[in-house]
Amino acid sequence: MAEFDWVSARSECSLPKIFERLYSGIKSDVAVRNKISAEATERLEFGHSREGPDRILVTRSGTKIRTVEFILRQASIGVEGEAQFEADPGLNNPGDCTLTVNGTELELWAVRRLALEKLFFSNLSTLSRVTVNKA
């Protein structure tokens, strides 16, 4: 049995590479959330943008603009706005690239959920469009 090449695996788990994979997932998450918003007739629009090579901004427009910002730092990825935490990269025992937040190892989709769930799903009851049927 060949020994696991953890050095190459960890190199693929570098912060810049993780940041790009996060951005790819964020773009997909925003597209899905906008589709759900349109189907539910919510007066919300979500967006994403790159603010330079080290920042990703995710926005929610509706009654007021709310944001989550992902920041590529020297030794971690910071999240600020609706959610706030630091995520540190590493390999778990099976050799998967993960991020650790507050001592908990998370896959990239779970880090995006932790960062974006409140932005995407909080305070929705007041945002639905009301359709009035005239008799």
In a domain, 18, yes or no: yes
- pLDDT tens series, the chain, 135 aa: 679 999 999 999 999 999 999 999 999 999 999 999 988 888 889 999 999 999 999 999 987 889 999 999 999 999 999 999 999 999 999 999 999 999 999 999 999 999 999 999 987 654 444 333 333
In a domain, 115, yes or no: yes
The token pair that represents 18 in the structure block: 């993780």
In a domain, 135, yes or no: no
Q: What is the pLDDT of residue 63?
A: 75
Structural domain including 47 reads 6-121
In a domain, 96, yes or no: yes
In a domain, 61, yes or no: yes
Q: What is the pLDDT of residue 64?
A: 83
The DSSP element (H or E) to which 46 belongs, if any, is: strand 45-50
Q: What is the pLDDT of residue 21?
A: 96
Compute the half-sphere exposure of residue 107: CA atoms within 13 Å on the CB side of its CA: 6
Prediction pTM value = 0.87
Closest among 78, 39, 82 to 59, alpha carbons compared: 82
In a domain, 130, yes or no: no
In a domain, 133, yes or no: no
Strands 85-91 and 77-81: antiparallel
* Ramachandran bin of 81, using left for φ above 0, alpha for ψ from -120 to 50, beta for the remaining angles: left
In a domain, 56, yes or no: yes
Q: How many domains does the chain have?
A: 1
